[in-house]
Structure 1
Amino acid sequence: MHRPACRRGARMASLPPESHPGAPARLILTMKTSVLLLLLLATALGSAAQTPVEQATAALKAGDLATADSLLSPLAAGEKPDPAVLQQLSLVRLRQNRAAEAVALAERAVKLAPDQAGAHASLGQALSQRIGEVGFMQQAMIAGRMRKAFEKAAELDPQHLGALIGLSRYYTNAPEIAGGSPVKAREYALRVHQLNPVLGESELGNIAEKQEDFATALTHYEALAKLQADHGRPHYLCGRMLVQLGRKDEARTRFETALRHDPKLEAAQKALAELTQPAS
């Protein structure tokens, strides 16, 4: 009488674990737990894999200069630090308004990595800020070094945006006697536009504005505003050109639009206040 029960017990014992009553729920729970553990492990490994330079880059983007500085400064010591560290620390120094130190760091990066476009572009950027801190006689020398740094970066990497923008602005702002050329500025700006239309329209507008061709500048800033409709600055730039063209009512609307998107945009606040002042 008991033998069938034994056979049933034997059959139950021989079934695979997932065939037992309640096994599906236990299996799903086990799988969920395993997946969760794997996700946690992957997250931990991802965090651990982030280099100090990457951490410093994130801190710099977040505006946390102290953290970026503390991460990079120890790594920049020694005779042969990573050029990427020197470049990033140079950017930190620029944000700290310590341009002379930024130049020195970028020069070290160029010396250690003469074939890296980023190192030369970093030097050009540091020099572009340093030039505003020195006397007139030194400015000419620094301007030449800045142009050469950007040119070398563009030679090594023809698609390096920082180098192309640097050259566009150099030829826009330099006096003719120092090689300034709106034609060359526009050539570099068009190369920027091919790679990044937003930056390209901004540079082309800036060149036209510098030449007091306000109608052409407005055309480029209008295009920029379409590409960045939810940003305040493009609308402010349009308003500024409209003022120059005598279209003050349209300018007022643009300044108001700029402030809706960016209430803290001081340039738009000031421009709108000037428009609302009664004529003297």
Structure 2
Amino acid sequence: MGRLGFKGSQRLVLHKDLGTQSLSSWFAIFFFVDKHNLESLRDEIDEIDSQIVRLLNQRVQAAVEIGRIKAELGVDPYDPAREEQVFEKLGAINDGPMQGDSLRTIYREVISASIALEKDLVIGYLGPEATYTHQAALKNFGAALSYRSMPDIPDVFESVEKGECEYGVVPIENSTEGAVNRSLDLLADTELTIVAQVFLKVEHCLFSESEMGDITEVRSKDQALAQCREWLSRNLPQARLVPVSSTAEAVGNCKGVPGIAAIAAKLAGGTGLPIQAEGIQDRKNNTTRFLVVARNPLPRR
């Protein structure tokens, strides 16, 4: 007879029952506490979101007032030098854990939304949509402004010169392939002013409805094909390389056509075409520099 009058086997069963009950009780307690903490944190986030929205609207209202003053002075609302100052200040006051690039991306869109309320700016770029130039334009100006795709580089210059677009974005050089001669020639003859530059890391993807072993032809802009030449030689030695006018056109050519692949930016994935391989450029630090051109020079500071 053990303590409390229970036999050994009875104590064992009792201990098992108590252990089971104890685990169940502790699980319920922890679940209740975790759920309570979760709801409390969500309430805190909701309150922070309310403050953020209120402060963002205050910021936008101040920016719109600045835009009104600029309009009276005949100054364009887009000021890349001032924007860079803002980004630098944000980086200086950011203690984390948010990464600096993420914070810059968020504020890029905040500034873009402010400019859109000040004036309906139209940005011309070497198209079509989803090309690297389109991507560079979005990186520089944000998504809130209006964009107009142009079929060729001279069309971008002409649209800005005629006042159809306030700004134009064109490629000027690539770290692998060198200068874009057409842009250089037009810059030498135009009265447009360079107001900003954009550096874009070029990461090529292979799009196709066919598996790698079934691809017999790869299409893209000639520069993109050249930047992936070694990868294509290793992985698709049987494929014929066909240059077309743009990476976006190459993607469009692949839809519903078996055996054909396209090289383009990941942004082109919005078309629904499957990506068979990513990061296929021969140089991982492959970068293209783009220029932003305008009729009016930037204001002096």
* TM-score, normalization by structure 2: 0.30
More strand by share: 2
* TM-score, normalization by structure 1: 0.32
Higher RCO structure, 1 or 2 (CA under 8 Å, sep 6+) = 2
More helix by share: 1
